[in-house]
């Protein structure tokens, strides 16, 4: 029986992963270590309160004592989702990105070594490969060329994971996925920001000319990819995941406006992001052939379901808008950590 340490489980992808695994594997138990930064929301896993195979611990992955304390609960494997994840914030202040993404990963790697876990999974991103021109794809062999402080910090973490495998034989794998969308995504990223703005008849800010390309994947497809890498990934290997679904930001914006029945005049062109990567596209052949993984959710279907989710979860959205969600921990546990 696996006792998994999942870090960052109160964020967007981590919460979807925890729920997915507990629902589909009755032999697994999960400890979720999350610092509850602005991106961590206890409401994302409120439905798991009291679940016999789930435990939440508030703690920071850069805190060695906190991490060792959790490892002593009998952790057998580690999956690291915890990160500062928003490019725009990393341009504003890269400090928390280096701390959590690099130092936090090092802290987890040291703990994984000390407690001799049987697998360590580092959830990374396709953004470590940099930006593509009009053609071509990122493969696992593409040299790392991060362009934003966010992707640079993720690449630094990946380099450490690789080094711990080579130097110490830590059974670690790295996953690199393209842009995720789905329920529980913090409304600072393109899709949830635009959907929640449009539901309130607010404008949507398109950066620059809107011709940047992203490869979209439903969060559950990413979760099954991370699961496959955890179960079957070979130590020392990297696995790319993508949705084979490239869209320009402007095309995607038009689709969102149309699905929500809103006028295109709600588009507001704003100043471009500094150093904005032009195109990401993933070749996920290795994950398909080696792990038997495939993205399953068609974009049109996943996008409609995602819009429905934001329409139906207005309390989740408004608690974020008012900042009430930041007080859930005190309400539930009676004190600030
Ligand atoms: P998110 O920002 O929604 O969630 C991050 C979570 O990590 C939050 O719950 C936050 O509280 C927690 N956290 C942050 N710093 C912490 C710390 N020091 N200690 C403990 N917990 C901390 O992020 P996400 O979109 O769910 O992304 C999860 C992972 O997947 C990240 O590593 C990210 O780089 C990677 N990724 C994301 C995408 C995407 O499209 N969102 C794509 C590929 C890879
Ligand atoms: P984002 O969701 O921040 O993901 P990432 O930067 O990790 O790809 O942004 C997706 C794309 O959308 C990216 O090209 C930047 C663009 N974008 C906008 O045009 N307007 C916005 O308000 C946001 C948040 C993003």
pLDDT tens profile 172-182: 999 999 999 99
Percent of the chain with pLDDT over 90: 98
pLDDT band for 219, please (50, 70, 90 cuts). very high
Check if 61 has its Cβ closer than 6 Å to any atom of ligand 1. yes
Q: Is residue 336's pLDDT more than 60?
A: no
Q: For residues 174-195, give the mean pLDDT.
A: 98
Q: 34, 77, 127, 215: which one is catalytic?
A: 127
Ligand 1, atom 12: nearest CA belongs to which residue?
8
Mean pLDDT value across the chain: 98
pLDDT computed for residue 310 by the predictor = 98
Atom of ligand 2 nearest to the CA of 125: 7
- Whole-structure pTM over 0.75, yes or no? yes
Given this model, what pLDDT does residue 237 score? 98
pLDDT of residue 261: 98
How far apart (Å, rounded) are the C-alpha atoms in residues 204 and 154? 28
Say yes or no to pLDDT of 337 above 60. no
Total structural domains in the chain?
Answer: 1
Cα-trace Rg, the chain: 19
CB of 180 within 6 A of ligand 1: the answer is yes
- For residues 201-207, give the mean pLDDT: 98
165 is catalytic: no
Averaged over 281-304, what is the pLDDT?
Answer: 98
Of 120, 137, 150, 165, the catalytic one is 150
Distances from the Cα of 257 to the Cαs of 57, 201, 204, 240, 292, in angstroms? 40, 10, 10, 31, 36
Please state the rounded mean pLDDT for residues 95-109.
99
Ligand 1 close to Cβ of residue 5 (< 6 A)? no
Domain residues for the domain of 102 are 2-333
Closest ligand to C-alpha of residue 268 is: 2
Q: DSSP letter string over 264-310?
A: GGGEEEEPPPTT---B--B--HHHHHHH-----S-HHHHHHHHHHHH
> Known catalytic residue: 150?
yes
pLDDT at 79 over 60: yes
> How high is the pLDDT of residue 257?
98
The residues facing 122 across adjacent strands are 80, 174
Q: How confident is the model at residue 3 (pLDDT cuts 50, 70, 90)?
A: very high
310 is catalytic: no
Would you place residue 1 in the very low, low, confident or very high pLDDT band (cuts 50, 70, 90)? confident
Distance 162 CA to ligand 1 centre (A): 20
The answer on pLDDT for 248 being more than 90 is: yes
Do 175 and 124 meet the contact criterion of CB atoms below 8 Å apart?
yes
Q: Does ligand 1 have an atom closer than 6 angstroms to the CB of 179?
A: yes
**Residue 101: which CATH number?**
3.40.50.720
């Amino acid at each position: 029986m696996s006792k998994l340490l999942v870090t960052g489980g109160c964020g967007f992808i981590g919460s979807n992963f925890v729920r997915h695994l507990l629902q589909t594997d009755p032999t697994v138990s999960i400890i979720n270590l999350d610092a509850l930064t602005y991106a961590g929301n206890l409401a994302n896993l409120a439905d798991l309160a009291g679940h016999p195979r789930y435990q939440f611990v508030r703690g920071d992955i850069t805190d060695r004592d906190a991490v060792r304390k959790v490892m002593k609960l009998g952790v057998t494997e580690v999956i690291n989702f915890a990160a500062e994840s928003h490019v725009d914030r990393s341009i504003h202040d890269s400090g928390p990105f280096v701390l959590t993404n690099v130092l936090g990963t090092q802290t987890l790697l040291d703990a994984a070594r000390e407690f001799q876990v049987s697998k360590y999974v580092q959830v990374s991103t396709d953004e470590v490969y940099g930006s593509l021109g009009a053609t071509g794809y990122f493969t696992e062999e593409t040299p790392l060329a991060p362009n934003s402080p966010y992707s640079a910090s993720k690449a630094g973490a990946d380099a450490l994971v690789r080094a711990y495998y080579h130097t110490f034989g830590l059974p670690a794998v790295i996953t690199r996925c393209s842009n995720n969308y789905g329920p529980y995504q913090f409304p600072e990223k393109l899709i949830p920001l635009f959907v929640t703005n449009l539901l309130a008849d607010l404008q949507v800010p398109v950066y620059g000319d809107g011709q940047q390309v992203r490869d979209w994947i439903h969060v559950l497809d990413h979760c099954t990819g991370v699961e496959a890498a955890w179960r079957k990934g070979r130590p020392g290997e990297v696995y790319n995941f993508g949705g084979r679904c490239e869209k320009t930001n402007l095309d995607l914006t038009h689709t969102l406006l149309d699905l929500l029945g809103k006028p295109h005049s709600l588009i507001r062109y704003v100043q471009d992001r500094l150093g904005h990567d032009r195109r990401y596209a993933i070749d996920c052949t290795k994950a398909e052939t080696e792990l038997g993984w495939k993205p399953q959710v068609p974009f049109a279907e996943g996008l409609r379901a995602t819009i429905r989710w934001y329409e139906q979860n207005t309390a989740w959205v408004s608690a974020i808008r008012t900042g009430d969600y930041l007080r859930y921990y005190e309400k539930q546990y009676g004190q600030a950590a």
